[in-house]
Amino acid sequence: MAHDELSSANEALTPLPASQRVFGWHDHASLWFSLGVGLLVMQIGAYLVPAVGTRDAAIAIVLGSLLGAGLLAWTARLGCESGLASAGLMHATYGSAFARLPVLLNIVQLVGWTTFELVIMREGTQAIGQQAFGMTLGGPLGGALTTLLWGAVLLALLAGSMVKLVRRFVSRFGLPLVVLSLLWLTWQFATRLQAKGLDAFWARPGDGGTGMFGALDLVIAMPVSWLPLVADYARHGKRNASGQRGLGSAFSGTWIGYALANVWCYALGVMVVSVAEPGTGLVTALLLAQGGLVALGLILIDELDNAYGDVYSGSVSTHSLLPRWSVRRWGLLLAALCTALALVLPMHALEPFLLMLSSVFVPLYGVILGRLGTGQAVSSVGTRRVDLGAALIWIAGIAAYHALAKWAPQFGSALPTLAATFLLAWASRPKATPTAAGGASALAQNRG
């Protein structure tokens, strides 16, 4: 068997060496702008206006995007600083034994989201085929063929190098095309809004379907869903002798790239629903726009990197539990699994389950940032098999999240839970203990 198919070292729990850190500011920004663009983001934006009205939706979109992307950037800085993957940060915070639980939950989440992305790409392809060529691809055979097509492309991408994909395709080729597509669609729907009257659009009230904090939760939900992945990429960020310049690139590139994409896609969803005929779906409305077929096709191709990002991070996390198989081999296996699941599972019925599963990562990263994101050296923690304090705060945070959603939805769930878990984790963080100069961290030595 090839050397890269088997691995004796646990790459996810070992800091990445400087020789493999090649991402600069442009790479971080391009990657996270690309990952921030998606049809699902636009669909949530389309939901916000009927629920809270245009003005409140705009406030929620801007504020929620800045806060959510800020959390991603903070985690990216931590990943770049430590050189650890997301699984490594979980081990450093919760202990080598207990961390296996959130790592496993993250794998389940990523398999689910990848499957859901494949369904979104399948349905977008079916809509394009019907609109452009009159092809009916909605039957069982058409659904299977389009699912297998996108699954095969995903497998081909995972067979290559993640670093090369980001630096050669996403940054140089994919990003400019996606930006042009967004600019074209924005101009199309902004022109229609102006014709209908911008004053009426801006003054449109909501139906009370949700409050401002509930809208913030919806906006923050998208960047929060990427929290368990960001360190898997940020650890590849360059560092100079002092390390500060590289850390700043990871922080600012991630924040600016994702926040810009999130605001843009949510706002585009708001504009689309405001000019489309009642009952018209988002994809159909995009296709009916002049040049919408080409623009939607490019966005659909960009959707592929969301699926790739999920699978790659899932393979890193799985490798952290079972390091005998390489990250690449786990990626191929997970991609095949997700393709098979997309063929048989009713993913629209599973969406609430996926969103509920994602809610565990708000308090999870509240604890991680409280313990590691305030100057505590990663090398001085993670020596325990179970950090009981961190584990209890996380579990209490999950309970608080769902309690707030049920009994106090007017306050939202994400922000109060994040703040509470962060403060508790920060107040209970262990004191730093020195490590031997030049020695590996206790986490790297332990390797789970």
Which pLDDT tens digit goes with each residue over 19-43?
A: 889 999 999 999 999 999 988 888 8
The model's confidence at residue 90, banded by pLDDT at 50, 70 and 90, is very high
Is 227 in contact with 72 (CB distance < 8 Å)?
yes
pLDDT confidence of 440, banded at 50, 70, 90? very low
Tell me how far apart the alpha carbons of residues 378 and 401 are, in angstroms, rounded to a whole number.
Answer: 27
Res. 382: pLDDT tops 70: no
Query: What's residue 348's pLDDT?
Result: 66
State the pLDDT confidence band at 103, using cuts at 50, 70 and 90: very high
- pLDDT digits 0-9 by tens, 312-371: 999 999 999 999 999 999 999 999 999 999 999 876 665 577 567 778 999 999 999 999
160-210 per-position pLDDT tens digit? 899 888 888 888 878 888 899 999 999 999 999 998 888 888 888 888 777
Of 101-115, 167-181, 424-438, highest mean pLDDT = 101-115
Highest mean pLDDT (candidates 207-216, 371-380, 387-396):
387-396
Q: What is the pLDDT of residue 441?
A: 39
Q: Is the pTM of this model over 0.85?
A: yes
Cβ contacts of 283 within 8 Å, gap of 6 or more: 39, 123, 124, 127, 296
Residues above pLDDT 70, as percent of the chain: 88
Chain mean position to CA 130: 30
What would the mean pLDDT of 265-282 be, rounded to a whole number? 86
Residue 231: which of 364, 359, 98, 332 has the closest Cα?
364
pLDDT over 70 at 376, yes or no = no
Q: Give mean pLDDT, residues 401-411.
A: 88
* pLDDT of 137 higher than 90: no
Higher pLDDT, 36 or 51: 36
pLDDT of residue 443: 38
Note the pLDDT of residue 114: 93
Task: Give the start-to-end residue ranges of the domains of the chain.
Answer: 24-352
CATH topology of domain 24-352: Hydantoin permease (1.10.4160)
> What are the pLDDT digits (tens) for 59-80?
999 999 999 999 999 999 999 9
282 pLDDT band, cuts 50/70/90, is confident
Across the chain, mean pLDDT equals 85
Q: Which residue has the higher pLDDT, 107 or 405?
A: 107
The larger pLDDT score, comparing residue 347 to residue 427, is at 427
SS (H, E, C) the chain: CCHHHECCCCHHHCCCCHHHCCECHHHHHHHHHHHHCCHHHHHHHHHHHHHHEHHHHHHHHHHHHHHHHHHHHHHHHHHHHHCCCHHHHHHHHHCCCCCHHHHHHHHHHHHHHHHHHHHHHHHHHHHHHHHHHCCCCCCHHHHHHHHHHHHHHHHHHHCCCHHHHHHHHHHHHHHHHHHHHHHHHHHHHHHHHHHHCHHHHHCCECCCCCCHHHHHHHHHHHHHHCHHHHHHHHCCECCCCCCHHHHHHHHHHHHHHHHHHHHHHHHHHHHHHHHCCCCCCHHHHHHHCCCHHHHHHHHHHHHHHHHHHHHHHHHHHHHHHCCCECHHHHHHHHHHHHHHHHHHCCHHHHHHHHHHHHCCHHHHHHHHHHHHCCCCCHHHCCCCCCCHHHHHHHHHHHHHHHHHHHHCHHHCCHHHHHHHHHHHHHHCCCCCCCCCCCCCCHHHHHCC
The pLDDT, as a whole number, for residue 138 is 67
Share of the chain above pLDDT 90, in %: 50
Confidence category of residue 446, pLDDT binned at 50, 70, 90: very low
> Which residue from 194, 180, 179 is spatially nearest to 275, judged by alpha carbons?
194
